[in-house]
Amino acid sequence: MTRLIVADTVAQVRECVKAWKKEGLTVGLVPTMGYLHEGHASLVQKAREECDKVIASVFVNPTQFGPNEDLEAYPRDFERDCALLEACGADAVFHPVPSEMYAGDFSTWVDMQGLTAGLCGKTRPTHFRGVCTVVSKLFNIVTPDRAYFGQKDAQQLAVIRRMVRDLNIDVQVVGCPIVREEDGLAKSSRNTYLSATERQAALVLSRAVAQGRTLACEGEKDAARIVAEMRRVIEAEPMARIDYVEAVDADTIEPVERLSRDTLFAMAVYIGKTRLIDNFIVRTTEA
Ligand code: PAF
């Protein structure tokens, strides 16, 4: 096992990547906010398969949290993250402090229109500005050949693909499947917020996904009918409060009425105070 290089500064990352590129090696980036789980591990493993060198970033990005969100409470355990990254075969981790990424007079933002307005953007109006800004900074710092993101954050994945296209960023964005617990709950660092009873109640998200998927597989083409059935499943759980359940075009995030193009069924549901997301895509084109 190679020893994980820990870089705290932009200069250290640049030096490391420069040496790799001088040898003609390809570089894969796995951006994360830490408190890693098997979902992140699957991204590192995919990057390991496809790239000569793999670097992960562990940075709880303050600019993607709203004023009343869980920035302070967000779980952190860098030692454990490093152990997981090393076990998955990552070569390096970038772990900056906030001031390394955001100077006191930081004033340049990547702010996307359209795709960021719906779904999570409705309740988290500044979230994607923070995500786009930090991800473009990470792309500039690391200059990876490929970057790996989970399909669980489906809107984020669509937004990053669009940003890369719009800004001509020279990176291949790779989306990776949702990783679930044995009982179906999508892996998330925020699952640690759930009490035992909430953890049980949270299974309603994956049950709604399964129900929606079954209807689509049976040939239902009316998106509203599928959404209504998913809502019915969630509403049967007293601890669940729906933020949204919607059917949208998987690339443009525009509302879909009939399943004639790749359709993303996405939801955000509060279980107690914890906001969880889940989704599935019904593909009409080759993935
Ligand atoms: O998906 C995440 O963990 C974050 O939004 C990301 C992409 C690492 C940006 O901070």
Do 28 and 159 sit in the same domain of this protein?
A: yes
pLDDT at site 95: 98
Do 115 and 209 sit in the same domain of this protein?
A: no
Q: For ligand 1, atom 5, name the residue with the nearest CA.
A: 131
Q: Domain with 244 in it: what CATH number? A: 3.30.1300.10
Does a structural domain hold residue 222?
yes
Does a structural domain hold residue 82?
yes
pLDDT at site 209: 98
pLDDT at site 24: 98
- Residues contacting ligand 1 via CB (< 6 Å): 31-33, 61, 64, 131, 134-135, 153, 156
Q: Which atom of ligand 1 is nearest to the CA of 160?
A: 7
Q: Cβ contacts of residue 54 below 8 Å, gap of 6+?
A: 27, 28, 30, 44, 47, 48, 89, 90, 91, 92
Residue 267 structural domain = 189-280
Please indicate whether residue 40 is annotated as part of the active site. Answer: yes
Does a structural domain hold residue 53?
yes
Does a structural domain hold residue 130?
yes
pLDDT at site 287: 57
Does a structural domain hold residue 116?
yes
pLDDT at site 286: 61
Do 127 and 94 sit in the same domain of this protein?
A: yes
pLDDT digits (tens, 9 = 90+) for 194-213: 999 999 999 999 999 999 99
Q: Domain boundary residue among 116, 142, 176?
A: 176
Does a structural domain hold residue 182?
no
Do 120 and 214 sit in the same domain of this protein?
A: no
The answer to whether 212 and 285 have CB atoms below 8 angstroms apart is no
By most ligand atoms within 8 Å of CB, the mutation choice from 57, 135, 155, 188 for ligand 1 is: 135
Number of other residues whose CB lies within 10 A of the CB of residue 199: 17
pLDDT at site 192: 96
pLDDT at site 261: 87
Q: Cβ contacts of residue 160 below 8 Å, gap of 6+?
A: 131, 132, 135, 147, 149, 173
Q: Which atom of ligand 1 is nearest to the CA of 33?
A: 3
Q: How far is the CA of 59 from the centre of ligand 1 (A)?
A: 8
Does a structural domain hold residue 84?
yes
Q: Domain with 150 in it: what CATH number? A: 3.40.50.620
Residues in the chain with pLDDT < 50?
none
Nearest CA to 206 out of 154, 277, 135 is that of: 277
Report yes or no on whether pTM surpasses 0.75: yes
Does a structural domain hold residue 287?
no
Q: What total number of domains does the chain contain? A: 2
Do 32 and 164 sit in the same domain of this protein?
A: yes
Do 24 and 154 sit in the same domain of this protein?
A: yes
Do 158 and 218 sit in the same domain of this protein?
A: no
